[in-house]
Structure 1
């Protein structure tokens, strides 16, 4: 008899939605528009330090490594605060540069990315082969033989690169301006890694304040 009563109670509990069998609760989506956030993310140049998909950058030397911000664990409020009053070398972004609703869009975009692994520059990358490929692909025609850029062609200075490896790859694949895109069939990731380390080996630009003719 007690077995029948217990079975009946269990059946009733299942039918009325007892706490014994809670329904799954959908995780709320972050406020903001993902596509708009991606546009703002790129417009502000966030990818130059944090990577094209927020995966962060593995820095070398004394420089601090820009953190991974894809799928950030910060709350929206803390994220906005970190942009307004950042720590380290990151410059602050005031409300005149990017509004709170726009940062909400960026936050939604970052949350949509999931956990992105950092793209590590292969240790086998060769600057010697990179120089050969740089010439073979005709990069020098716009960016100069040392990646110093050119006023005549309008090619920007790319040596040494001021963006992380992942952003360099992403830009070559989908560039802006007049630069043609290079698909994987035209230039593999391994070849672009060689070109990147070649450009990294180029000397830094001479500061204008150290050029006497410009300070007379």
Structure 2
């Protein structure tokens, strides 16, 4: 059996005076889709931020994969409104030109078409609707070069058609990747390939569905 991508050992994370996660021990297997569920405010986002290294525990230990390339889509879309859709999608790559830029432009056009946003690659992000902004943030994460991707309620706010199209596109990008996917939706979780289910509740992280 391969080593887990992430290991938590007796981890406590404190925000202010509150222990959001308390004495958590868990292993997240590499190359699997991990679905994290739980009520609002229970610490699901904090768990993702802990695994990404954006917060550190006050006690316990966290083992993260050395040298892993990370991608993420947060609950906030985090787009640069003055840039075009295409430029926002290319942000993880920095400045690129020549054949690489042409490849990214082509991938972006095809991805936009797949999620119902054909022809919007030159639109300014500030001109987009909320659902369109959400999809652009997901395309940016999905088109990045990564080993591990963190998706915090990725389909939140999308209508049924957009959600279905975006899910179908994302599923093509997740093969053989380590995925941490936060959702409130049982249907969304069931659509993912052989998901490993986790529940966050009362400061605890335990395997299994709600």
More helix by share: 1
Give the TM-score taking structure 1 as reference length: 0.29
More strand by share: 2
Q: Which has the larger radius of gyration?
A: 1
The higher relative CO (CA closer than 8 Å, separation ≥ 6) is in 2
Give the TM-score taking structure 2 as reference length: 0.30
